[in-house]
Amino acid sequence: MPAVPRFNFGVGILKEMGMKLRLPEGAFKAYLFDCDGTIVDSMPLHYVAWKTTLEEWGCPFDEDLFYAWGGMPIREIISTLNERHGLEMPVAEVAERKEERYYDMLGDLKAVPEVLEHIEVSHGQLPFAVVSGSTRESVVKSLEVLGILDKFDTLVCAGDYERSKPHPEPFLMAAERLGIAPQDCLVFEDTEMGIQSATAAGMASVKVPQPRERVAG
């Protein structure tokens, strides 16, 4: 089986390109987008929501770990932190409080411009799906704030699948819903976990730079 192409452009190349994402050549028939950090520049807001919530339980959450776990469902994050730190945080309660804090900051939410450009250019020509580790409510609220919810044909969110990224199930589910073969899908992702999921699904991918990469000197 031929290797699936992976396109991971470094910060320097992106600067030379005016921070635009250059897509691989190919007759792709669908675009699959992660949401947080890919379509919406929400990761800094999510981290603030996490930090302020977890501080109430004395639970540390390093920023590097937060970004490394990008794409992991919220309840899975809390359960994993409980195991890691020997805590007994009530998963449902902590998840609800974290999401409420994120919703309180939605007024500050903006799109990732180099991804929004491809959405605007290709909308109506290709079917789009969102494939996210966030809850459906969170994804819908974020896309509504930006006024682009109606551009997506389907949303695959936490609770829709049994095995989260880096397992391929979320992306394969999106391809099936769209009626497009996996090899004909192009994935936009900002995390290594998401890229691994796309690759395991047999899909080409484009790595979107994370906030700290986009402002790197």
Q: Which domain holds residue 145?
A: 6-42+110-214
pLDDT tens by residue, 112-169: 999 999 999 999 999 999 999 999 999 999 999 999 999 999 999 999 999 999 999 9
Sorting pLDDT into bands at 50, 70 and 90, what band is 26? confident
Are residues 117 and 174 located together in one domain of the fold?
Answer: yes
CATH number for the domain harbouring residue 38: 3.40.50.1000
pLDDT tens, 37-46?
Answer: 999 999 999 9
pLDDT at 212: 65
pLDDT at 108 exceeding the cut of 90: yes
Q: Are residues 195 and 118 in the same domain?
A: yes
Tell me whether residue 120 is in a domain.
yes
When divided into structural domains, the chain yields a total of 2
pTM across the whole model:
0.83
pLDDT for 17: 33
As given in the structure block, the two tokens for residue 60 are 């540390």
Q: Is residue 1 a part of any domain in this protein?
A: no
Whether pLDDT at 7 is above 80: no
Higher pLDDT residue, 12 or 95? Answer: 95
Q: Is the pLDDT of residue 13 over 70?
A: no
47 and 35 in a common domain: no
Quick one: 102 and 181 in the same domain?
Answer: no
Which CATH number do you get for residue 70? 1.10.150
Residues 141 and 78 in one domain: no
Quick check: 14 pLDDT over 60? no
Q: So what's the pLDDT on residue 215?
A: 53
| DSSP run (H or E) holding 46 | helix 43-55
Residue 103 sits in the same domain as residue 179: no
- Residue 122 shares a structural domain with residue 33: yes
- When the pLDDT of each residue in the chain is averaged and rounded to a whole number, the result is 89
CA-to-CA distance for 41 and 194, rounded, in angstroms? 16
Tens of pLDDT, residues 53-91: 999 999 999 999 998 898 899 999 999 999 999 999 999
Kindly state whether residues 183 and 79 are assigned to the same domain.
Answer: no
Contacts by 177-185, CB closer than 8 A, 24 or more apart: 177/129, 177/153, 178/30, 178/127, 178/129, 178/153, 178/154, 180/29, 180/30, 180/127, 181/29, 183/4, 184/27, 184/28, 184/29, 184/30, 185/28, 185/29, 185/30, 185/31, 185/32
